[in-house]
Chain A
Amino acid sequence: MAYTLKINGRSQTVDVDDDTPLLWVLRDVLGMMGTKFGCGMALCGACTVHLDGQPVRSCITTVDSVGTGEITTIEAIGRTPAGQRIQQAWIDLEVPQCGYCQSGQIMSAAALLAANPRPTDTDIDDAMSGNICRCGTYVRIREGIKRAAAGGSGRTGG
């Protein structure tokens, strides 16, 4: 059936089964490829988007459960102050390797920072342990969140 979703501040109408996961609506129906598929079972975090500012796994979030909630994806997270700071820190520290998990990492990190401007290591563990990175960029992810929390000291080096 038809659903009208609010995505990154705009309304989009899609016609899919009610149990279709939001992930596939974003990627295959709307062509927004920034949100990634990693497991389909809420185990890896690659598909993380924000629903009313809360990080959710879009692979298990069915389209009929979204209602009038505001969806934010990686394509628009840079418009939020926390998202912008996280992205800048990611660039400064060159966090990504293959990059495939990083949309999800950034979405989780941005949600953390928006809710908790000064996260401790434990806060970071709690907020980020649902996001797998097979390239093993975790050391820099942690550093990146801390740098973003500290206000981001801007880009260093060439």
Chain B
Amino acid sequence: MAQTAGNKAGEQVPTRRDIIRAGVGAGGALFVVFGIPSIAKVVQADAGATARPAPAPAPAPAAAAGPPFMPSGFVRIDPAGTVTLTMPQVEMGQGTYTSMPMLIAEELEVELSQVKLAAAPADDKLYGNPLIGFQVTGGSTSVRGFFKPLRVAGATAREMLIAGAAKTWGVDPASCRAEKGVVVHDASGRRAPYGELVATAAAVAVPTDVKLKDPKSFKLIGTSARRLDVADKTTGRAQFGIDVRLPGLLIATVAASPVIGGKLRSVDDTAAKAVKGVRQIVRLEDAVAVVADHMGAARKGLAALAIVWDEGANAKVGTADVVATLQAATTQSGVVAERKGDVDAAMAAAAKTVEAVYELPFLAHTTMEPMNCTVHLRKDACDLWVGSQVVSRARATAADVTGLPPERIAVHNHLLGGGFGRRLEIDFVTQAVQIAKQVDAPVKVVWSREEDIQHDIYRPYYVDRLKAGLDAGGRPSAFHHRVTGSSIMARWVPAYFKDGLDADAVDGAAGPYDFDNLLVDYVRREPPAGLLTGWWRGVGVTHNAFMVESFIDELAQAAGREPIDYRRALLARQPRARAVLDLVAEKAGWGAPMPKGRGRGVALLFGFGTYVAQVAEVDVSPKGEVRVSRVVCAVDCGITINPDTVRAQMEGGIVYGLTAALYGEITLKNGRVEQSNFDNYQALRINEVPAIEVHIVSSLEEPGGIGEPGTSGIAPALVNAIYAATGKRLRKLPIDGRQLAAT
């Protein structure tokens, strides 16, 4: 850190101006609280972390001292008037560091510009996700889970502040109100800023039945309030886990066995140790790490290692082996997930039956920020700096590896450079702590992109069989969807894997439609040991929407019907689904003629509490090149917290889903993942991105999730559009242009 004094603001983070407080915690590690000067303050620190005292609040005017007012785990107001909101959910781009504060601020009656944010420490009891039961940011659950608890937290604090003021003034609390961080008594014109009420409010009994605002009177919720994290994200100041700086910090990078499940046999590190800046080579059971002064030296050292692997049982495994197992399994009956009416009888009586098998590949996540975790392990305590979607699990694995009690481990969570479900896993945290056990200094373990792609926890490979019986009018009188794939739940939350059924794998397996005779069943088949499958943006809904919406299009075609009309006829009892479908049709100009080689496709889904319909327009060249020119999206996510965030999530979700549909595929050969970096595991780039229009249905229904549904609908809309353009039905992703070339 060879910085000299006299930096201008904006250079060489952190600048003096930004360090509103820095110090050395009880554990000896530096903690620094960064401010966002422009809009709000984001505290990337350890508010309430258990391995050491919580950092003191931001510096206050000398007069204002004393303990803060903390009516809940979410709200803290100090005597200087600083309002700190502790974020139970983590920010990974989805806007939760704006929507969560909006929920609290709406009821607390403060301006967003008045609040500072703190990342929650590991604590399932205080910060557990109400929909899942522990600290998780995933499944598009943040707003759904915290819509009420955070408003209650805001209202509780507000009522206590009002009660405190009323008592001081000797007036009826009902005659007081709160606005912009001030309690006001209109009759007398008295006003007290929250900071002045901290002591009196803290003495008030915590009310148990605060009244929440009628959604019709929301002032902040429903507005496109400015995101609180954007200014720092345009100046390079935003702090991701990978950006942590600590005195004496070493940097490590890793190579795990290229054959999945393989072990380290031996390593010759002579050349690596000769690299300038390399400090140490760490051997783990299944990996080697090079620890160095900087990542340049660590990477050079890693490249200089001569490693011999024990390839183990998977040495000959290829993708075809996995697929063959799944294909065979789709012909066997599975665990029943949903049954309505009598599918067998209806199928037998049908005028016509249609059957199709669809396949989805393994997918990596490639978050833009590669996996990383920084660990400082001492004899009696351990600190982690990381960006995790599961903070308490990160702590638990550190406790496991170190043998320390959980309360001696502090997790300092950071902004995530993308999550997409990858950071719902703790494999890289476990590994970093294992490395740290052998290093006598704080160490930041950073994976290369190659490591990130080849040692991901992949979206499962699915092979689904769908069969429908059509009546004389072409309507599906019987609908059967057999899902075949691995179970994420069984590994990730075994308690939710009941009677052989993975509820996520079958989520959305019948679409939003009314079927009189329906069967959804599930056949679980796991890939070879060591190859793990996990969450990936949209998970069950994304996979099932591809299967169901492709198949519904095939049914419409078999029935000789137009795809939107065909769907609408199956939605008699689904007014919200019908409404998004109609809206997208209108906005997309559905039905307007298109030139040869171009086509429109639609997809509709219900997932994460949200209805989404999308229309994609494609252009397929005679050579089979697919270009998506336009996507129109209609979304009904109930009460909208922040419309611009909803738009952003739909835009981003569509790009994420399109990337997968056009390029995403992880393949195995000789037990190794064949893809390694963005040259052979491609991401959509700006020149390939369609125009995207998002239309939001205004609604007072319960809020739905928005992080994932945008991703879920685009692949089926795309293949349906390709069908419209070419008459060719693709039942497998990613899109294989060779099948579309005019012959």
Contact = CB atoms under 8 A, between A and B. Distances in A.
- A and B from one complex: yes
Interface string A84-105: 0001001100111111111100
A52 interface: no
Contacts of A39: 449, 677-678
A41 B687 CA distance: 20
B418 interface: yes
Nearest to A13: B2
A154 B98 CA distance: 22
A87 B234 contact: yes
B222 interface: no
A17 B297 contact: yes
Contacts of A134: 366-368, 418, 420, 656, 659, 683
Contact of B655 (A14, A90, A125, A136): A136
A125 B296 CA distance: 31
Contact of A16 (B94, B232, B276): B276
B162 to A, nearest CB: 25
Interface in B408-425: 415-420
A136 B651 contact: yes
B236 A103 contact: yes
A115 interface: no
Interface string A32-48: 11111111110110100
- A14, A24, A130, most chain B CB atoms within 10 A: A24
Interface string A10-37: 1011101101110111011111111111
Contacts of B499: none
A28 B366 CA distance: 23
Interface residues of A, number: 71
B234 A76 contact: no
A97 B686 contact: no
A97 B707 CA distance: 11
A142 B3 contact: no
A8 interface: yes
A135 B11 contact: no
B273 interface: no
B396 to A, nearest CB: 25
A103 B239 CA distance: 12
A75 B12 contact: yes
Interface in A90-136: 90-91, 94-103, 106, 124-126, 128-136
Contacts of B687: 125-126, 128-129
B275 interface: yes
Contacts of A98: 91-93, 367-369, 415-419
B223 interface: yes
Contact of B10 (A28, A75, A136): A75
B401 to A, nearest CB: 25
Contacts of A141: 686
B679 interface: yes
Nearest to A17: B276
A67 interface: no
Label chain A's interface by main secondary structure.
loop
Contacts of A131: 685-686
B294 A136 contact: no
B2 A129 contact: no
Contacts of A76: 8, 10-11
Given A30-B3, A31-B12, A17 B686 contact: no
Nearest to B276: A17
A82 to B, nearest CB: 14
Contacts of B296: 16-17, 20-21, 23-25, 28
B300 interface: yes
Label chain B's interface by main secondary structure.
loop
Contacts of A34: 13, 235-237
Contact of A133 (B4, B225, B293, B368): B368
B418 A136 contact: no
A74 interface: yes
A124 B687 CA distance: 8
Given A91-B230, A137-B651, A27 B295 contact: yes
Contacts of B2: 12-14, 29-30
Nearest to A108: B686
Interface string B187-230: 00000000000000000000000000000000000011111011
B243 A33 contact: yes
B13 A136 contact: no
A157 B689 contact: no
B350 interface: no
Nearest to B365: A134
B654 A136 contact: yes
Contacts of B240: 36, 99-100
A106 B232 CA distance: 13
A91 B368 contact: no
Contact of B686 (A14, A44, A96, A138): A138
Contacts of B294: 16, 20, 24-25, 27-29
Contacts of B678: 38-39, 41, 43-44, 132
A78 B232 CA distance: 12
Contacts of B251: 28
Given A13-B2, A98-B369, A134-B656, A32 B299 contact: no
B370 interface: yes
A135 B295 contact: no
Given A16-B277, A78-B10, A87-B234, A43 B369 contact: no
Contact of A97 (B448, B648, B689): B648
B691 interface: yes
Given A43-B677, A101-B368, A90 B11 contact: no
Nearest to A145: B686
A30 B242 CA distance: 15
B418 A17 contact: no
B652 interface: yes
Interface in B281-308: 293-297, 299-300
Contact of A124 (B4, B236, B686): B686
A75 B361 CA distance: 40
A157 to B, nearest CB: 6
A99 B369 CA distance: 10
Nearest to A46: B368
A2 B297 CA distance: 15
B653 interface: yes
A104 to B, nearest CB: 9
A136 B690 CA distance: 11
Contact of A31 (B1, B239, B370, B446): B1
Given A19-B300, A101-B368, 10 more contacts: A24-B296, A24-B297, A28-B295, A90-B234, A99-B232, A129-B685, A134-B368, A136-B652, A136-B655, A138-B686
Interface of B: 1-4, 8, 10-13, 91-95, 223-227, 229-240, 242-243, 245, 251, 275-277, 293-297, 299-300, 366-370, 415-420, 446, 448-449, 644, 648, 651-656, 659, 677-679, 683-687, 689, 691-692
30 contacts: A8-B12, A16-B294, A16-B296, A17-B277, A20-B300, A23-B296, A24-B294, A28-B295, A30-B2, A31-B1, A31-B245, A32-B12, A36-B368, A40-B677, A43-B679, A44-B449, A73-B236, A79-B10, A90-B230, A90-B234, A91-B230, A98-B367, A99-B240, A133-B368, A134-B420, A134-B683, A135-B418, A136-B652, A136-B653, A138-B655
4 tightest A-B CB contacts, nearest first: A34-B236, A136-B655, A100-B417, A99-B233
